[in-house]
């Protein structure tokens, strides 16, 4: 050891692990991605519909720069990236050393089915006599002891459930490829021992996810597993899925009937005495599931969600809730059902419920869904011990506000530090990758050198195709060599068909390379099974034959399609294979950060810490933003110290330049190459070249005129209270009664979104005031307490300390009457069903958050704002901090309301996004990139309108359409709208597609 390592280890291959692995691989690190399961995808492999778009879209995680390094296919099926080694059925067993220089010990489960030999032909499963509950469908359907763990994975390798296998040996006999090695009957140990691998890594990202509460571990008053029609929310997701137990039709498990009334019970295993935290995402999951059920049933199934607080705290979620209620007719009832019982008379399920006034209002349903709360992942405790990362009192990884100054090279990503929705998991994972990248930075160079420059290959672009066909044959497969040879003979462009024995083996592979090296083909087509996995092997062939990988292609023999069609389609594709001649200009290794608050500074540091340059533009005279007036957060983090530390690091950092009193004036260019002019205080213009931009323009506390604000000194906003407490001008000892009103001017028709941090701020102030003056009466008037995640514990603490929470509704708002001796607050108390009058010394208004004006700035960089004037992300789940065009990012309050910790995470994620772009080598244009034939172009500009990535511009001087090959993502919209094929998509040419279609039919 001793050498700093350029390799990163990512533990867990769910959404978060995939995001982190791609982040690190795209920035030039070697990545080892491991997962304990025999497949990747984590919980997402079981989910098909995700809020708030009710679709998937995971492919939006795929790289946008250097696209050819990664298989461009559905990520729920699998991830194939040249820089990522995937090790399944593998766990981390030991970690020694220090940040940058770890030695990791990985243990791989023995595979009874050799993944290298299994082709997924299903013959083993056909003969297996043992039927077991299918774990993929949560036991709602059955499968065989030897089965596919996930039906859609690439590669699709069978596994054997050794707990149920009777070792009958049928599968071993029937396997045509000899892939199955069952342990001998007379001994229990397996033929293949567990393999231990030691590996040097620089940093470790722990993305091992979470587990869910098991109702059977408690008193189980809801009858889970005892009553067949009481299902968990994941079981319902499986029922709704096309690959689920009922092929996607909604039926109840007990008798296969379509339910007519369904209930969701929220907070099962959350927000109770045993687990005093909120699970953050279940409210939205329940809403989404209810909407899906309403849609599927054409609104015939009644859906009722029983909840305590509907926590739709993210930017778009309140709007989603409104849609669910108003458009889809999902019914929300505030109650915590006591139990579910079977009703003998009707065969239905009876929910025991009491309403606000304590009266029993039982209701009958025929299906009940339990929204199960989060629990720490099984491996979290062991991983904490191995890696030394801390655990919080509830057993999740600690998630400190600032990792600065920490010596560790181990970082938690995603839900492992508390359940998060997809968008936040993606942000949090990129944040972890940014920190890991900082540790690894400096040791990445060897990997860079391995990258093949694309120049220097034989120039075959103008040569007539001279195709060499490699046919991979399995020893036991049918003999198809004569057929393929005759097809080759009848094709004028094929000059050789060579049959090889199993190129998936080392001998076969080497043999193929030797054979190819002797020839001078200018196009090579390899016919083999699961060719998706050969992505990284193209480079090896390319090197052996000195041919641009663009001219090497694979065709899949394993899909069970007619051989002639497969071969001829492959030949048609390779015949027209080419690489566009245009070259992308080099990435400018600088990131412009607009805004010098906590987000902007963090983003700049993350960029600069990895060796790139960051430039901060701040319109005020000093850095700090909202941090300047904030004292601390609810967990006690000292913002003053954070501000000082961060400012000092920014000022001292050689890689960061700061312009204060400066604003962005104009910008030209696109992702990778922007030229931006700044206007500085002395009216000077400053021109800056940069490759990416991060908008960290922040937001502010909203102004208000509600509740008598402005007419009485006793009515204050959060910010004023925070400042008064910080300055010592307010002493709670002098107060007797304080009333806090939540959701002022928020979550209504004029401002729909929840500002998400106000509930936590109120809890913070209430607890602080109570600490300073325990005699003080504090009333919090709220509509929904948004103390999501672990901040729920402060809600509990506040109630224990005597803070009184009174719920009000949008229809029945409190009134504030100011008089000479303080203020009178009138509010309707729903439990007493009476109007209370509270004479108070201080009324604190939670007025919410408004974004800074960002629209004109965003427009300069071809980015947009959303309905609420925050930055509009390309996709709130999968690309939560990026604009569509891939060169513009945002963080902090510019994205939407979030607290300091979440702002820091988003800032690192934004920096990570910018780093992914500017560290791409872009030596050549990605193979699937659009081009233009100017001689055919009529300049109708429809391609410009159709390009969502802003990759096309009209050069009116030259009278030509220009394409930015970095911004182009090869979607093909431009080629589709162009009527005379002046716009084309390389490797998807008209002639090529005609020939492929011709071959297919």
Partner 1 sequence: MEETYEIRGTNWLDSVQKLLASVFETSSVTSMLVPVRHSTTHVLMPTLVSDPGELEGADPFAPCFPLNSAKLVSKLTKKHSNEIIAAVLRPCELRALVELVKIKQATMDNLITISFDCAGAYPNREYNRTGAEGKAAEGKAKTLGFMEQRLGSKLDDDTDKQLSTSCRICTGPFPENADLCITLLDHDPGALGVFAGTDRGRELIMGKAFEVKSLPGTRADTVKEVLQRKKEAAKKVFEDLAGKTATMAGLGNYLASCVNCYNCRVACPVCFCRECVFNTDVFDYEPFQYAAWAKNKGTLRMPMDTVFFHLTRMIHMGLSCVGCGQCSNACPNDIRVAELFTAVGKGVQQGFGYEAGKSMDDPFPLSVFFEDEFQDVTGI
Residues forming the site for partner 1 (CB under 8 A): 53-55, 492, 935-942, 945-946, 948, 977, 979-982, 990-991, 994
Distance between CA atoms of residues 543 and 416, nearest Å: 41
Distance between CA atoms of residues 911 and 27, nearest Å: 12
User: Quick one: 53 or 773, whose CB is closer to partner 1?
Assistant: 53
Q: Any idea what the Cα angle at residue 480 is, between residues 476 and 481, rounded to 5°?
A: 110
User: Quick one: 122 or 980, whose CB is closer to partner 1?
Assistant: 980
User: Quick one: 853 or 936, whose CB is closer to partner 1?
Assistant: 936
Own/partner pairs, 380-387, CB within 8 angstroms, 24+ separation: 380/208, 380/416, 383/11, 383/92, 383/206, 383/208, 386/92, 386/93, 386/94, 386/95, 387/92, 387/95, 387/204, 387/206
Element (H, E) at 598: helix 598-608
For the bound state, the minimum distance from the C-beta of residue 978 to partner 1, rounded and expressed in Å, comes to: 9
For the bound state, the minimum distance from the C-beta of residue 944 to partner 1, rounded and expressed in Å, comes to: 9
Calculate the CA 377 to chain-centre distance: 18
Mention every residue, 6+ apart, whose C-beta is less than 8 A from residue 178: 117, 476
User: Quick one: 128 or 467, whose CB is closer to partner 1?
Assistant: 467
For the bound state, the minimum distance from the C-beta of residue 761 to partner 1, rounded and expressed in Å, comes to: 33
For the bound state, the minimum distance from the C-beta of residue 973 to partner 1, rounded and expressed in Å, comes to: 8
For the bound state, the minimum distance from the C-beta of residue 329 to partner 1, rounded and expressed in Å, comes to: 17
For the bound state, the minimum distance from the C-beta of residue 281 to partner 1, rounded and expressed in Å, comes to: 22
| CB-CB contact of 101 with 4 (8 Å) | yes
User: Quick one: 38 or 950, whose CB is closer to partner 1?
Assistant: 950
User: Quick one: 398 or 945, whose CB is closer to partner 1?
Assistant: 945
Distance between CA atoms of residues 942 and 979, nearest Å: 10
Query: Between the CA atoms of 322, 324, 330 and 332, what dihedral angle is there, to the nearest 10 degrees?
Result: -40
Q: End-to-end distance of the chain based on CA atoms, in angstroms?
A: 59
For the bound state, the minimum distance from the C-beta of residue 490 to partner 1, rounded and expressed in Å, comes to: 9
Radius of gyration (C-alpha) of the chain in whole angstroms:
30
User: Quick one: 513 or 993, whose CB is closer to partner 1?
Assistant: 993
For the bound state, the minimum distance from the C-beta of residue 307 to partner 1, rounded and expressed in Å, comes to: 26
Element (H, E) at 963: strand 960-963
For the bound state, the minimum distance from the C-beta of residue 371 to partner 1, rounded and expressed in Å, comes to: 24
For the bound state, the minimum distance from the C-beta of residue 315 to partner 1, rounded and expressed in Å, comes to: 15
| CB-CB contact of 349 with 366 (8 Å) | yes
User: Quick one: 53 or 402, whose CB is closer to partner 1?
Assistant: 53
For the bound state, the minimum distance from the C-beta of residue 343 to partner 1, rounded and expressed in Å, comes to: 37
Q: What are phi and psi of 78, to 5 degrees?
A: 170, 165
DSSP 882: B
Distance between CA atoms of residues 613 and 915, nearest Å: 10
Residue 803 burial (10 A CB sphere; 0-12, 13-18, 19+): buried
User: Quick one: 93 or 942, whose CB is closer to partner 1?
Assistant: 942
For the bound state, the minimum distance from the C-beta of residue 736 to partner 1, rounded and expressed in Å, comes to: 52
User: Quick one: 614 or 947, whose CB is closer to partner 1?
Assistant: 947
| CB-CB contact of 710 with 823 (8 Å) | no
User: Quick one: 651 or 994, whose CB is closer to partner 1?
Assistant: 994
For the bound state, the minimum distance from the C-beta of residue 457 to partner 1, rounded and expressed in Å, comes to: 26
Closest CA to 978 of 937, 950, 948, 949: 937
* DSSP result, 886-943: SSEEE-GGGTS---HHHHHHHHHHHHHHHHHHHT----S--SS-EEE-TTT-----HH
User: Quick one: 695 or 982, whose CB is closer to partner 1?
Assistant: 982
User: Quick one: 713 or 990, whose CB is closer to partner 1?
Assistant: 990
Closest CA to 148 of 119, 110, 181: 119
Distance between CA atoms of residues 968 and 948, nearest Å: 9
User: Quick one: 23 or 289, whose CB is closer to partner 1?
Assistant: 289
Q: Any idea what the Cα angle at residue 768 is, between residues 767 and 774, rounded to 5°?
A: 75
User: Quick one: 53 or 704, whose CB is closer to partner 1?
Assistant: 53
- Reading the block at residue 303, the tokens are 């859906």
Distance between CA atoms of residues 429 and 207, nearest Å: 8
Element (H, E) at 307: strand 302-307
User: Quick one: 130 or 944, whose CB is closer to partner 1?
Assistant: 944
For the bound state, the minimum distance from the C-beta of residue 747 to partner 1, rounded and expressed in Å, comes to: 22
Distance between CA atoms of residues 688 and 682, nearest Å: 17
HSE-CB for 856 with a 13 A CA cutoff: 6
For the bound state, the minimum distance from the C-beta of residue 519 to partner 1, rounded and expressed in Å, comes to: 24
For the bound state, the minimum distance from the C-beta of residue 886 to partner 1, rounded and expressed in Å, comes to: 17
């Amino acid at each position: 050891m001793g050498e700093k390592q350029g390799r990163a280890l990512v533990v867990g291959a769910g959404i978060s692990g995939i995001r982190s692995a791609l982040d690190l691989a795209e920035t030039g690190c070697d990545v080892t991605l491991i997962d304990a399961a025999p497949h990747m995808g984590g919980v997402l492999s079981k989910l098909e519909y995700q809020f708030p778009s009710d679709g998937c879209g995971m492919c939006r995680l795929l790289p946008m720069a250097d696209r050819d390094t990664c298989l461009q296919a559905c990520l729920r099926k699998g991830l194939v990236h040249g820089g990522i080694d995937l090790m399944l059925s593998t766990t981390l067993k030991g970690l020694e050393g220090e940040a940058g220089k770890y030695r990791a010990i990985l243990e791989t489960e023995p595979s009874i089915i050799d993944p290298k030999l299994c082709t997924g032909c299903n013959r083993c499963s056909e003969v297996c006599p043992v039927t077991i509950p299918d774990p993929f469908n949560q036991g709602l359907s059955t499968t065989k002891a030897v089965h596919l763990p996930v039906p859609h994975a690439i590669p699709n390798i069978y596994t054997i459930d050794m707990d149920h296998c009777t070792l009958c040996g049928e599968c071993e006999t029937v396997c045509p490829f000899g892939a199955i090695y069952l342990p001998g009957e007379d001994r229990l140990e397996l033929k293949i021992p567990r393999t231990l691998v030691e590996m040097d890594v620089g940093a470790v990202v722990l993305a091992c996810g979470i587990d869910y509460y098991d109702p059977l571990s408690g008193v189980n008053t809801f009858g889970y597993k005892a009553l067949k029609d009481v299902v968990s929310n994941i079981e319902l997701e499986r029922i709704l899925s096309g690959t689920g137990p009922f092929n996607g039709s909604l039926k109840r498990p007990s008798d296969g009937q379509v339910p007519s009334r369904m209930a969701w019970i929220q907070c099962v295993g959350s927000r109770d005495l045993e687990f005093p935290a909120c699970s953050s995402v279940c409210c939205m999951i329940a809403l989404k599931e209810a909407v899906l059920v309403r849609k599927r049933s054409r609104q015939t199934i009644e859906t009722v969600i029983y909840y305590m607080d509907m926590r739709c705290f993210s930017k778009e979620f309140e709007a989603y809730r409104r849609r669910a209620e108003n458009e889809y007719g999902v019914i929300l009832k505030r109650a915590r059902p006591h139990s579910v019982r079977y009703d003998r008379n009707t065969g239905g399920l009876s929910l025991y419920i009491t309403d606000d006034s304590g009266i029993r209002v039982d209701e009958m349903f025929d299906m009940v869904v339990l929204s199960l709360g989060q629990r720490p992942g099984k491996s979290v405790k062991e991983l904490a011990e191995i890696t030394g990362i801390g655990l919080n009192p509830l057993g999740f990884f600690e998630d400190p506000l600032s990792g600065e100054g920490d010596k560790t090279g181990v970082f938690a990503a995603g839900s492992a530090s508390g359940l998060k929705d997809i968008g936040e998991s993606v942000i949090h994972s990129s944040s972890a990758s940014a920190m890991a990248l900082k540790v690894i930075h400096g040791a990445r160079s060897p990997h860079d050198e391995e990258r093949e420059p694309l120049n220097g290959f034989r120039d075959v672009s103008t040569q007539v195709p001279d195709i060499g066909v490699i046919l991979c044959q399995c020893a036991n497969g049918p003999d198809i060599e004569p057929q393929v040879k005759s097809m080759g003979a009848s094709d004028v462009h094929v000059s050789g068909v060579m049959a090889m024995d199993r190129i998936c083996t080392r001998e076969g592979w080497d043999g193929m390379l030797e054979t190819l090296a002797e020839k001078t083909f200018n196009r090579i087509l390899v016919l083999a099974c699961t060719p998706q996995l050969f992505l990284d092997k193209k480079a090896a062939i390319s090197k052996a034959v000195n041919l641009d990988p663009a001219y090497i292609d694979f065709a899949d023999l394993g899909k069970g399609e007619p051989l002639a069609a497969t071969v001829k389609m492959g030949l048609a594709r390779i015949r027209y294979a080419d690489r566009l001649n245009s070259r992308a200009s080099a990435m400018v290794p600088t990131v412009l950060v607009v805004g010098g608050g906590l987000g902007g500074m963090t983003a700049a540091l993350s960029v600069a810490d990895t060796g790139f340059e960051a430039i901060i533009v701040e319109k005020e005279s000093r850095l700090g933003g909202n941090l300047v007036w904030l004292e601390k957060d609810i967990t006690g983090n000292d913002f003053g110290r954070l501000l000082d530390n961060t400012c000092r690091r920014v000022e001292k950092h050689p890689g960061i330049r700061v312009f204060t009193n400066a604003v962005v004036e104009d910008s030209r260019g696109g992702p990778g190459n922007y030229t931006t002019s700044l206007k500085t205080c002395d009216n000077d213009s400053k021109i800056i070249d940069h490759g990416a931009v991060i908008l960290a323009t922040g937001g502010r506390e909203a102004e208000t005129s509600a509740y008598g604000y402005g007419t009485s000194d006793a009515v204050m906003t959060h910010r004023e209270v925070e400042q008064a407490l910080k300055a010592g001008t307010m002493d709670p000892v002098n107060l007797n009664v304080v009333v806090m009103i939540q959701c002022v001017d928020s979550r209504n028709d004029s401002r729909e979104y929840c500002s998400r941090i106000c509930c936590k701020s109120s809890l913070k102030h209430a607890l602080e005031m109570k600490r300073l003056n325990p005699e003080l009466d504090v009333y919090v008037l709220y509509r929904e307490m948004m103390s999501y995640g672990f901040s729920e514990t402060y809600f509990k603490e506040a109630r224990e300390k005597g803070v009184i929470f009174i719920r009000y509704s949008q229809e029945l708002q409190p009134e504030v009457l100011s008089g000479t001796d303080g203020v009178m607050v009138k509010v309707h108390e729903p439990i007493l069903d009476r109007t209370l009058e509270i004479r108070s010394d201080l009324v604190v208004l939670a007025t919410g958050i408004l974004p800074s004006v960002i629209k004109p700035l965003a427009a300069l960089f071809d980015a947009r704002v959303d309905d609420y004037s925050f930055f509009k992300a390309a996709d709130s789940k999968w690309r939560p901090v990026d604009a569509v065009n891939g060169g513009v990012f945002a963080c902090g309050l510019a994205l939407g309301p979030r607290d300091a910790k979440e702002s820091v995470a988003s800032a690192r994620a934004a920096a990570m996004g910018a780093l992914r772009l500017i560290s791409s080598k872009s030596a050549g244009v990605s193979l699937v990139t659009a081009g233009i034939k100017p001689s055919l172009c009529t300049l109708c500009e429809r391609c410009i309108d159709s390009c969502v990535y802003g990759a096309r511009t009209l050069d009116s001087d030259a009278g030509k359409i220009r394409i930015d090959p970095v911004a182009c993502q090869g979607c093909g919209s431009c080629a589709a709208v162009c009527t005379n094929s002046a716009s084309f998509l390389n490797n998807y040419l008209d002639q090529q597609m005609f020939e492929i279609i011709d071959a297919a039919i």
